[in-house]
């Protein structure tokens, strides 16, 4: 059940060579409870692992990695307008999107091709192309590590924000998500508010009212053209969150850099971190085996054989240089271990 000194390289998308002192998989809540009851596991630092697509390991993990493999996808109820779909936390997120499309259910097609597991999706309220997990979220079930008890969390209790939830904040490391329920639409309601989706639909020759499957195809097309595939080049997607600044700060920036992009959000303006990083001269920067992707400045990459601490140090250098040039603080989106 428990393996010792396991290489984590195959289990995370940065492809860094690090080891876990202890490693185990669980395929059900009962298996998870049995693992958590082992003294070796109780005494060790615990890391719940999905697909490792939002993690940067900077050293060997001197604890126990518990890999979530709880499967299962089902429609648990439906009415005229919506259906509730429950997924085991170890299902792949994109698999859930495809399942929904196969059942003629819409609402998560804009989140097509985001790597990772269903169980990790609420952790940072995954989002892309004008949609977020919280738009369709109904509830989740999570096991409290200290007691082994299962608890249901409503949308309000999850405290979702921009790439945030209570599971990254006050309840960090206290709960293991075991299943997620989404409320999906039975009548197609495609969201094409994001400009690139509209232009890509045109480029793909899709005219008239797009279906959810068309939107999914467009999103997959955009993502494949913009983001490096972790199977080819190690990365964890956007390394930094897009910072939010006050309107006053944004006006000051605009006076100095008239071309600065910005999107209104409650209480201020969101500025694309990719623009700030690119303007600071980092896009395509390469330092031996690691660097900044040449097509997407938000993505730090392992070209092969990079060390996690070198990627972390590069991230902090980027943060310092953006702070110095623009007076804006960037924060990592990736979990640095
Ligand atoms: C190429 C690429 C593109 C990406 N694009 C996007 C994007 O568009 N939008 C976006 O939001 N994200 C994006 N990401 C980030 C990533 O896909 C998401 O954060 C995803 O939800 C991570 O899932 P995972 O299973 O790989 O989590 P992991 O990396 O395995 O874990 C991430 C964190 O969640 C914790 N965790 C995992 N599972 C559980 C669980 N069941 N219970 C409790 N804690 C858990 C882990 O301990 C860790 O702290 C991208 C990543 C890559 C590599």
Give how far the C-alpha of residue 318 lies from the chain's centroid of Cα atoms, to the nearest Å. Answer: 21
CATH fold group of domain 73-226: 3.30.465
**DSSP character at residue 154:** E
Among 285, 306, 305, CA closest to 296: 285
pLDDT digit string, tens, across residues 40-94: 999 999 999 999 999 999 999 999 999 999 999 999 999 999 999 999 999 999 9
Instruction: State yes or no: is 333 an active-site residue.
Output: yes
- Domain 234-336 is of which CATH architecture? Alpha-Beta Complex (3.90)
pLDDT above 90 (res 232): yes
Q: Classify residue 300 as exposed, middle or buried by CB count within 10 Å of its CB (0-12, 13-18, 19+).
A: buried
Average model confidence (pLDDT) across the chain = 96
The percentage of residues in the chain with a pLDDT greater than 90, rounded to a whole number, is 96
From residue 78, give the alpha-carbon distance in Å to each of 72, 97, 105, 110, 186.
Answer: 18, 17, 11, 22, 9
CA–CA–CA angle 70, 31, 116 (5° rounding) = 25
Question: Which residue in 112, 238, 244, 312 is the catalytic one?
Answer: 238
The residue extents of the domains of the chain are 3-68, 73-226, 234-336
Cβ contacts of residue 186 below 8 Å, gap of 6+? 78, 80, 81, 82, 83, 104, 105
**Quick one: pLDDT band at residue 129, thresholds 50, 70, 90?**
very high
Sign of CA dihedral 196, 202, 207, 210: negative
pLDDT above 90 (res 189): no
Question: Nearest C-alpha to atom 8 of ligand 1 is from which residue?
Answer: 128
Rounded to 10 deg, the angle between the 93-102 and 212-226 helix axes is 150
Question: Nearest C-alpha to atom 20 of ligand 1 is from which residue?
Answer: 116
- Do domains 73-226 and 234-336 share one topology? The answer is no
Does the pTM surpass 0.85? The reply is yes
Question: Nearest C-alpha to atom 17 of ligand 1 is from which residue?
Answer: 115
pLDDT digit string, tens, across residues 253-304: 999 999 999 999 999 999 999 999 999 999 999 999 999 999 999 999 999 9
Interatomic CA distance for residues 249 and 264, integer angstroms: 13
From residue 167, give the alpha-carbon distance in Å to each of 87, 158, 164, 214.
Answer: 18, 7, 8, 33
- Domain 3-68 is of which CATH architecture? 2-Layer Sandwich (3.30)
pLDDT digit string, tens, across residues 25-52: 999 999 999 999 999 999 999 999 999 9
Mutate to test the pocket of ligand 1, among 89, 112, 115 (most ligand atoms within 8 A of CB): 115
Pick the atom of ligand 1 nearest to 89's CA.
41
* CA 335 / ligand 1 centre spacing (Å): 9
pLDDT digit string, tens, across residues 192-212: 988 899 999 999 999 888 999
């Amino acid at each position: 059940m428990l393996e010792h000194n396991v290489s984590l390289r195959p289990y995370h998308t940065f492809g860094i060579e690090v080891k876990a002192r202890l490693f185990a998989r669980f395929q059900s809540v009962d298996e998870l409870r049995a693992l958590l009851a082992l003294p070796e596991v109780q005494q060790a630092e615990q890391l719940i692992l999905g697909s490792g697509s939002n993690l940067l390991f900077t050293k060997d993990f001197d604890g126990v990695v518990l890999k979530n493999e709880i499967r299962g996808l089902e429609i648990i109820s439906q009415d005229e307008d919506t259906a509730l779909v429950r997924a085991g936390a170890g299902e792949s997120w994109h698999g859930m999107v495809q399942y929904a499309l196969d059942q003629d259910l819409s609402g998560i097609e804009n989140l097509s091709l985001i790597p990772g597991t269903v169980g990790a999706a609420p952790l940072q309220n995954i989002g892309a192309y004008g949609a977020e997990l919280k738009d369709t979220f109904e509830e989740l079930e999570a096991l409290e590590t200290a007691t082994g008890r299962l608890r249901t969390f409503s949308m309000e209790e999850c405290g979702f924000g921009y790439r945030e939830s209570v599971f990254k904040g006050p309840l960090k490391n206290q709960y293991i998500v075991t299943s997620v329920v989404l409320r999906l639409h039975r009548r197609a309601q495609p969201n094409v508010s994001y400009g690139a989706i509209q232009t890509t639909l045109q480029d793909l020759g899709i005219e008239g009212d797009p279906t959810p499957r068309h939107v999914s195809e467009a999103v997959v097309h955009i993502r494949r053209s913009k983001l490096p595939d972790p199977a080819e080049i190690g990365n964890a997607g956007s390394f930094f969150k897009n910072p939010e600044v006050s309107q006053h700060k944004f006006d000051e920036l605009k006076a100095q850099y008239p071309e600065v992009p910005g999107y209104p959000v409650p209480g201020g303006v969101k500025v694309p971190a990719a623009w700030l990083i690119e303007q600071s001269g980092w896009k395509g920067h390469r330092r031996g085996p690691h660097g900044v992707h040449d097509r997407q400045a938000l993505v730090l990459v392992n070209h092969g054989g990079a060390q996690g601490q070198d990627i972390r140090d590069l991230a902090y250098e980027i943060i310092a240089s953006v702070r110095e040039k623009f007076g804006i603080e960037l924060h990592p989106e990736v979990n640095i271990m």
